[in-house]
Structures are given as structure tokens and as C-alpha cells.
């Protein structure tokens, strides 16, 4: 690798050969970009363009593409000269054709997709497939070699970049931030990533803020601000600002080469000082490049007398109606020929040697970097035996424990055994969520100043806490996509802050599964605790199980939702999730002390099956169908369901009640719709084909109806769940307000059973009287009734 001193003297200077190579590569990339947007024939302009050469639908984005290509060309030169491992993240993801062109020029694209060969036929296929049926999307999508960031939903380029370099000391993530993207909330909050980056252990992020002045229909905020204000903003975040501006050539090549050389030299100085022992631990001032170049640079200056270049009109397709407008067709041909394609591609259509030799080779090509196909680098986690953290459960519902505390102990030892490949990401709530045992293995990571009042926080910490769901979620995405493992833990209601990130990551994983060359990556594991049912102290704003509904909409090949009812089941589920690949694993369980139900052996079997009958909780002997099935999924609602079954056993002993608990929510789906879906035989064994089911669910009731759609007589499922009733109240009152309490479930059982023994009417009246009594009691005593608050199952629940 080039040393810093060598860089300062040579790397930032372009000789004639450098300049010719860079400029040829850039022109070729621009040519290929325009060809993808416009052409379905005549890819090398062997003859004049005709309307038949033009695509019937013109899709794509030109405006940001020349800037993206310019940056790519110069970073590739830096990589070739220095041997630096780098990946390229394009925040303006709609500059997809530019990144596809880059992979094509580097040869990676043809290696992965042999039909898109480096010749005239391959170029034609490259053009025709772009944003077309049977082809590829218009963004820097999962189909684009070298990408870990699509950029379709703006705002996440920096969080993905920072996650990618954590525990990845040899990597630089070049993150291009579009000035439209810079207006988003997630991006605005992500500049602070350098406050958590340790130069001794982590790699580096080089943000390049590309200000081309406009978004889709108007100016951007940072482009119109006084440059001094922009410098002050970014300086305040801790960056050393390097600015490049203009549209003159070759001047822009010289200035950008010098800027990148200076940035790389500064990064190496920081890292060498930190890794060589000459470092006092102070957060370094990392470099950041501001690149100002015109939107749609090198494209048509004016069209029909209207200014296009340098304005929002260049954002997408600057020439419309080309197929039917001879004048526009002529402008397009002049535009394409301005890049002199005859100098860039040989007689076969392959890039000439000047272009082929411009960048690095092998895995150093950014489009071929193994870091951007992280499954190639993934190491298996060294997991401790989760059985060692078991809760001793002599009888169901006798002992109370904080289930997530055992998970914290499990993760503490995962940290110890995997010091470079595992992290927890949590918005300032690790202790609150009872996961604080991890601090026995690692402090919180923090590169800003630390005071004597701070506890378990410092530069060497690897527990990542920042009060931003977007940052935590995005850091974990970048971390897993580059081959490492982790978990994002947050309060349940506030997982909706980053829910769209969950959706986008799911889409990425779904598409990656269809690409044989994409290696499987560690799963995105999300733990939701401080749940809706036990946020009685915080109130309505903290009560919302919506992320379950979001994940259920994902395709079955990536989406998993687990609702473990106790600590031992949680440990079994977590071990499975940490071992899994290319899934979104959503685990939902509360942090408060809760009744424990299953021994570790029982929990392992239960989690493996995904659902099962709790014989000890019901009165069903299994010889004939029960009179009613009480089903449950979720910790609090499981307690209410078992309590309801106990009431029915004691007060209506002639009623045959079956209790079914569901851990893996996806088992309810038909097997043809989800790989975890239980077969018809098992479904019938649990729920029968005809008996009514009263299903008590942690989330919104409609989710269960969605899941059992297509099952035998699905209308027999009566679901209780969260119905947006809540406030600051008592724990049991939350179930009452949402009509999911044990008393409601007993009345539902009576109302829906096809056979009722004597005493049912009296029991319904008693349940209503208990609800009335509860309402008076909580107002007077400010706590739940003792028989509810201190409820345990009793001696009769001995396992057979």
C-alpha cells in the first residue's frame, strides 16, 4: 500500500497518462449511462440514429449520473495506486445506470452475467435490460455488482457506510450523499457516525457530499446555502472539509484527484497514529469532500430553448419524445457522439486498453469487492451453549423472571467469544431492556469526550447506543451485509420509526435470494421489548405493536416473527436466529418480570415445532375434539389465556378446553405461502377443523385473520389483540381496555362454544362483575387487584 508521504507527493498529481485514462473512463461511463436510458438498438452508433433505435419508454435518471461516474473513476484510480480496499455507496440510488456502467467497464458485470458480454451484442443487451421488463431496476439495486445500498428510499447511505466499516479496519466506504438526500431526517441524523468510529479497530467512511443544485423539481437546501454555512454545519459535526467545485475540464479532474489524495492521506494518518500507539484517544477530525458540479453535466445545455443542464430539468430524462421528435433525436445523437465512442470501444465493442487499464484488478475492483457481497466473508458465530442460561422451571407459572435478562447474559458471552464479528445496536436502552449483562464484556462505544460521571462508555466499547432508531437499524444493516452478526433492540412502539428500513432490507434480501452469485449474509435480528402491553407506565404513545404487521407483509422467504412466552423459549429462538442467514427475524417479548412456563427441553421442542398444545393448561384429554380452543401468541396474552383456562377448569369443569401456544407466527400460514407453515395434519391436530378458536394475540387482531386465511373454516377464529386502547394505567387494565383480559376470554369461550355445560350463564355474569370490580379497584387503589397482580397457576398444573 502506498505510504502517506508518497501519496502527498505523487498521488494527487495527474500526469498526461493519468488524465487521459480518467477522462476516457468517465466519458465511456457517461456514454453507457445514456445508452441504458435511451437505446434499444445501434449501441455503438455505427450508423445514424433512427426512431427504431429508441426505447418506447424512457426511464431512468441522468442528472446525478455524471457526478457519480466522475467520483467512481477517481476512487478507482486511488484504489489502483494504493491497494486500498474500498466499496462505493451511492446515496442517489437513482443514478443506477452509472454504477451499472462502472461494473461493466471493470469487467465484473460480464463475469457475473456472461450474456452481457464486453462486445457490441453485450452492450446492446446492457442497454435493453435497463429499467425494462425481464431486465434490471433503475436504482443501484441488489442486481448491481458492488452494491450494498440501493438508495431507492433516500437517507441511509451514511448509516450503511458506517455499519460496513465497524470491526472492518482495512475498508474505506466511500459514501456519496446526494444533496436531495441530505434533506432527509435519517441522513441529517447520520453525520454523527464519526462520534462512534474507532480508528484503531474500525475502517473509515469518506463522505462525499455531491451538491449539484437540484432535486426532481426544484433547488436543494444545502446547494442554495452560503458555502460558509455548509462548511460550518459539517465542521460542527467533526469533519475536515475539502471542497471541489467547477465544470471546467481538465481542471475538475486535477482538483478531484488532489482532494481524494488529501482525504486518503488524512485517513491513513489517523489510522497509523491510532494503530501505532501514538494516539491519545481523542476523536479525530475525519475528512469529508464537498463536490459541486452541475446537474446533468455534459448533457444537453438547452432543449427547445429552455435551460436544462445545471437545473432540475436534467434530473431524470432531459430529452423526452425522442422517438417522435426529429429535433430531439438529433440532439441525442450529438450528445452521444460528444463522448467520442469510437475512441472508447474497439471494433468488437469492447472497452479499449486505456479504459481497461484505468482501474484496479480482481477483488480490488469496487464492483467485485467481497465486502459488498458479505456472505463471502461471513464467519460463523462462536455461540455458547444457550442451555447454560436456562431458567429452572419446576412447574408452569410459578416463577417470575425478566426473560430478556437471560438473553443479555447469552449475548455477553457471544461478545466475549466473537470480539470482531458481533455487536448489539440499541437506542440508549440496553439496560432498560434488561440486556445490561453485555456491559460485562464491552462498554458502550463513544469517541466524544467522557466525564467522570459516565459509566461503561469509552472509545474501545462495542455496544452501540445512539438515540436514533435509523442509525441503529442502518448500522446493523451495513454490518450484516458486509458479513458480521448482530441484533437491533428497541422499544416496540418506536420500531415503527425505522419500519421502512425493515421493509427495504427485506426487499433487498428477497431479491438477493434470486441471484446465485449473492452469498447469504447474517440475518437482520430485531428484538422488540418494552412492549405495548407493559408500557402501562409510559402510556399510549409507547403502546403500538405495528412492526409485526409490517414484517408479515414481507415475502415468506425472508420474514420470520417469533413471540416466545418465556426466557427458555427466548434463548432457543435467539440461538436459532443468530445462526440463520438472509432473514429478517423479529422477536417480540417484554422485559418486565413475567411468569415462566417451560423447562429448557420443553422450550426447545416447542420453539422447533413453532406451536403446540399445552396439555397441562387445558381440560382436553385428546380423545375427542374439545368444546373450545384457546390459542395465544405473545407473553402477556399467554398469561391471560392460561388464566382464563384455569377459571373455566374451576368454574365450568364440564367444558373441554384446549390451550394452544404459538411461538413462530409464520406456522399459521399455509405451507404453500410460507416455508414455516404447518401442514394440514398438524394444523388440524392443534385447532381441529370445526371447533371455534378464541385466539389471544399480542398484535393487531387482523394479523391472525390474515395468517389463517385459507385454513379450514377460517371464520371460526375469534381474535383478541391490541385495538389501540391504552393510556397510563395498570398492567391488567391494558388487557381490559383492549378486551383481551382473562375475563373477556372466558366470556368469548362461552359465547363461541358449541356445547355449554350448566353454569355458563352464571360464569359470564361473574366475569362481568369482576371487570366492574376491577374498574373501581384500580381507580381507588392505583394498582391491580391482588388476585390478578399476584396470580400463579397453582399446583394442579403439574406436567404429566
Report d(CA 413, CA 402) in Å as an integer. Answer: 18
Q: Which residues touch 548 (CB under 8 Å, ≥6 apart)?
A: 561, 586, 588, 665, 698, 699, 700, 703
Report d(CA 537, CA 540) in Å as an integer. Answer: 9
Q: What is the pLDDT of residue 797?
A: 53
Burial of 356 by CB count in 10 Å (0-12 exposed, 13-18 middle, 19+ buried)? Answer: middle
Report d(CA 683, CA 687) in Å as an integer. Answer: 6
Q: What is the pLDDT of residue 796?
A: 55
Neighbours of 1 (CB within 10 A): 12
Is the separation of the CB atoms in 395 and 115 below 8 Å? no
The sheet with strand 171-178 has its strands ordered as 85-90, 171-178, 204-211, 286-292, 239-245
Report d(CA 465, CA 471) in Å as an integer. Answer: 9
771: helix, coil or strand?
A: helix
Report d(CA 6, CA 82) in Å as an integer. Answer: 10
Q: Which residues touch 650 (CB under 8 Å, ≥6 apart)?
A: none
Q: What is the pLDDT of residue 455?
A: 94
**What number of CA atoms fall less than 13 Å from residue 383's CA on the CB side?**
20
DSSP calls for 485-537? EEEEEEETGGGGGGHHHHHHHHHHHHHHTT-TTS---B-EEEEEES-GGG-TT
Report d(CA 141, CA 121) in Å as an integer. Answer: 23
Is residue 250 reached through a cis peptide bond, with omega within 30 degrees of 0 on the bond before it? yes
- Alpha carbon distances (Å) from 322 to 216, 318, 331: 20, 10, 9
Report d(CA 297, CA 34) in Å as an integer. Answer: 12
Torsion of CA 247, 35, 22, 243, to 10 degrees: 40
Is the separation of the CB atoms in 642 and 741 below 8 Å? no
Q: What is the pLDDT of residue 800?
A: 46
Q: Which of 213, 137, 214, 146 is nearest to 174 (CA)?
A: 146
Sign of the Cα pseudo-torsion (575, 578, 579, 583, in order) = positive
Give mean pLDDT in consecutive 10-residue pieces for the chain, a chain of 800 residues.
Answer: 54 94 98 97 97 94 95 98 97 92 98 97 97 92 96 94 98 96 96 97 98 91 96 97 97 97 97 90 96 95 93 90 94 97 97 95 97 92 98 96 98 97 95 96 96 94 96 98 98 95 96 96 97 89 94 94 98 98 98 97 98 96 92 98 97 96 97 95 96 97 96 96 94 96 98 91 96 96 95 67
Report d(CA 194, CA 721) in Å as an integer. Answer: 42
Q: Which of 195, 194, 213 is nearest to 204 (CA)?
A: 194
DSSP state of 463: B
Report phi then psi at 272, rounded to 5: -65, -40
Beta-bridge partner residues of 718 = 694
Q: Which grid cell sits at 358?
A: 484505468
Q: What is the pLDDT of residue 1?
A: 40
Amino acid at each position: 500500500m502506498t505510504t502517506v508521504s508518497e501519496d502527498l507527493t505523487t498521488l494527487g498529481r495527474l500526469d498526461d497518462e493519468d488524465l487521459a485514462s480518467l477522462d476516457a473512463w468517465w466519458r465511456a461511463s457517461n456514454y453507457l449511462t445514456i445508452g441504458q436510458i435511451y437505446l434499444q438498438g445501434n449501441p455503438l452508433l455505427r450508423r445514424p440514429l433512427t426512431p427504431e433505435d429508441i426505447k418506447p419508454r424512457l426511464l431512468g435518471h441522468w442528472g446525478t449520473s455524471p457526478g457519480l461516474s466522475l467520483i467512481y473513476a477517481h476512487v478507482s484510480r486511488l484504489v489502483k495506486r494504493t491497494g486500498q480496499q474500498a466499496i462505493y455507496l451511492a446515496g442517489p440510488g437513482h443514478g443506477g445506470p452509472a454504477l451499472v456502467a462502472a461494473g461493466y467497464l471493470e469487467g465484473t458485470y460480464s463475469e457475473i452475467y456472461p450474456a452481457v458480454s464486453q462486445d457490441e451484442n453485450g452492450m446492446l443487451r446492457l442497454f435493453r435490460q435497463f429499467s425494462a421488463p425481464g431486465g434490471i431496476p433503475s436504482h443501484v439495486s441488489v442486481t448491481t455488482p458492488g452494491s450494498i445500498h440501493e438508495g431507492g428510499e433516500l437517507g441511509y447511505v451514511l448509516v450503511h457506510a458506517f455499519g460496513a466499516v465497524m470491526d472492518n479496519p482495512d475498508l474505506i466506504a466511500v459514501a456519496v450523499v446526494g444533496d436531495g438526500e441530505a434533506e432527509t431526517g435519517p441522513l441529517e441524523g447520520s453525520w454523527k457516525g464519526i462520534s462512534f468510529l474507532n480508528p484503531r479497530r474500525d475502517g473509515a467512511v469518506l463522505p462525499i457530499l455531491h451538491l449539484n443544485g437540484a432535486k426532481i423539481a426544484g433547488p436543494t437546501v444545502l446547494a442554495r446555502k452560503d458555502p460558509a454555512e455548509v462548511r460550518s454545519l459539517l465542521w460542527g459535526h467533526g469533519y475536515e472539509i475539502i471542497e471541489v467545485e467547477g465544470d471546467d475540464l481538465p481542471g475538475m479532474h486535477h482538483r478531484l484527484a488532489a482532494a481524494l489524495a488529501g482525504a486518503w492521506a488524512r485517513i491513513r494518518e489517523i489510522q497509523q497514529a491510532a494503530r501505532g500507539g501514538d494516539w491519545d484517544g481523542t476523536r479525530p477530525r475525519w475528512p469529508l469532500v464537498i463536490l459541486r458540479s452541475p446537474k446533468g453535466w455534459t448533457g444537453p445545455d438547452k432543449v427547445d430553448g429552455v435551460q436544462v443542464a445545471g437545473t432540475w430539468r436534467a434530473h431524470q430524462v432531459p430529452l423526452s419524445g425522442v422517438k417522435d421528435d426529429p429535433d430531439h433525436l438529433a440532439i441525442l445523437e450529438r450528445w452521444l457522439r460528444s463522448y467520442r465512442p469510437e475512441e472508447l470501444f474497439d471494433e468488437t465493442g469492447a472497452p479499449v486498453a486505456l479504459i481497461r487499464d484505468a482501474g484496479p484488478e480482481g477483488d480490488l475492483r469496487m464492483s467485485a469487492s467481497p465486502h459488498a457481497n458479505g456472505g463471502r466473508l461471513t464467519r460463523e458465530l462462536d455461540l455458547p451453549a444457550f442451555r447454560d442460561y436456562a431458567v429452572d422451571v419446576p412447574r408452569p407459572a410459578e416463577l417470575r423472571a425478566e426473560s430478556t435478562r437471560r438473553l443479555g447474559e447469552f449475548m455477553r458471552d457471544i461478545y466475549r467469544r466473537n470480539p470482531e464479528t458481533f455487536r448489539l445496536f440499541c437506542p440508549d436502552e440496553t439496560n432498560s431492556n434488561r440486556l445490561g449483562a453485555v456491559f460485562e464484556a464491552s462498554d458502550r462505544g463513544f469517541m466524544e469526550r467522557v466525564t467522570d460521571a459516565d459509566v461503561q462508555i469509552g472509545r474501545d466499547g462495542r455496544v452501540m447506543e445512539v438515540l436514533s432508531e435509523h442509525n441503529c437499524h442502518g448500522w446493523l444493516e451495513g454490518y450484516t451485509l458486509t458479513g458480521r452478526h448482530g441484533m437491533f433492540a428497541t422499544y416496540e412502539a418506536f420500531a415503527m420509526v425505522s419500519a421502512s428500513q425493515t421493509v427495504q432490507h427485506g426487499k433487498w434480501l428477497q431479491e438477493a435470494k434470486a441471484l446465485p452469485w449473492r452469498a447469504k449474509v447474517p440475518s437482520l435480528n430485531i428484538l422488540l421489548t418494552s412492549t405495548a402491553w407493559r408500557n402501562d407506565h409510559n402510556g399510549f404513545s409507547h403502546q403500538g405493536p405495528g412492526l409485526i404487521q409490517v414484517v408479515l407483509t414481507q415475502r415468506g422467504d425472508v420474514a420470520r416473527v417469533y413471540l416466545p412466552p418465556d426466557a427458555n423459549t427466548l434463548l432457543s429462538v435467539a440461538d436459532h436466529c443468530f445462526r440463520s442467514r438472509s432473514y429478517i427475524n423479529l422477536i417480540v417479548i417484554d422485559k418486565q418480570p413475567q411468569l415462566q412456563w417451560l423447562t429448557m427441553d420443553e422450550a426447545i421442542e416447542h420453539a422447533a415445532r413453532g406451536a403446540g398444545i399445552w396439555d397441562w393448561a387445558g381440560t382436553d384429554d385428546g380423545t375427542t375434539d374439545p368444546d373450545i380452543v384457546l390459542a395465544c401468541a405473545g407473553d402477556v396474552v399467554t398469561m391471560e389465556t392460561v388464566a382464563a383456562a384455569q377459571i373455566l377448569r374451576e368454574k365450568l369443569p364440564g367444558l373441554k378446553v384446549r390451550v394452544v401456544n404459538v411461538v413462530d407466527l409464520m406456522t399459521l400460514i399455509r405451507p404453500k405461502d410460507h416455508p414455516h407453515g404447518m401442514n394440514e395434519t398438524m394444523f388440524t391436530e392443534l385447532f381441529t377443523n370445526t371447533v371455534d378458536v378464541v385466539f389471544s394475540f399480542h398484535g393487531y387482531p387482523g394479523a391472525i385473520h390474515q395468517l389463517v386465511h385459507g385454513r379450514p373454516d377460517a371464520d371460526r377464529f375469534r381474535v383478541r389483540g391490541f385495538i389501540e386502547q391504552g393510556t397510563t394505567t395498570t398492567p391488567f387494565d391494558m388487557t381490559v381496555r383492549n378486551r383481551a383480559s382473562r375475563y373477556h376470554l372466558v366470556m368469548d369461550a362461552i359465547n363461541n362454544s358449541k356445547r355449554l355445560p350448566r353454569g355458563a350463564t352464571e360464569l359470564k355474569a361473574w366475569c362481568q362483575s369482576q371487570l366492574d370490580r376491577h374498574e373501581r379497584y384500580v381507580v381507588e387503589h392505583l394498582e391491580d387487584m391482588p388476585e390478578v397482580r399476584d396470580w400463579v397457576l397453582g399446583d394442579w398444573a403439574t406436567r404429566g
